[in-house]
Amino acid sequence: MNQFALKNIGIWEIVIPGLLFCAFICLYFLPTIISIFKKSNMLKVFLTNLFLGWTFLGWIYSLIISIKKQKISNSL
């Protein structure tokens, strides 16, 4: 008898956790995704989200940075 044989695992026991993991990653990096589409503060938002996003306040801060409008300076 092969002791390393896999149990009878259904496809949904692999697919559902995989989809949930992908949804979690997309939600976690939502501020970064928003800043990429807006093309503003991308590096700042990404680094803040990457290193401080696990603290809820860091994630909220990243979201605020990605949503707020960037001021345009007219200095020539």
5-44 pLDDT, tens digit each: 566 777 788 899 999 999 999 999 999 999 999 998 899 9
Number of domains, the chain: 1
Q: Residue 61: name the closest of 22, 23, 35 by CA.
A: 35
33-73 pLDDT, tens digit each: 999 999 988 999 999 999 999 999 999 999 999 998 777 66
Residue 22 lies in a domain: no
Residue 57 lies in a domain: yes
> How far apart, in Å, do the first and last CA atoms of the chain sit?
79
Q: How confident is the model at residue 74 (pLDDT cuts 50, 70, 90)?
A: low
Residue 45 is part of which domain span? Answer: 30-68
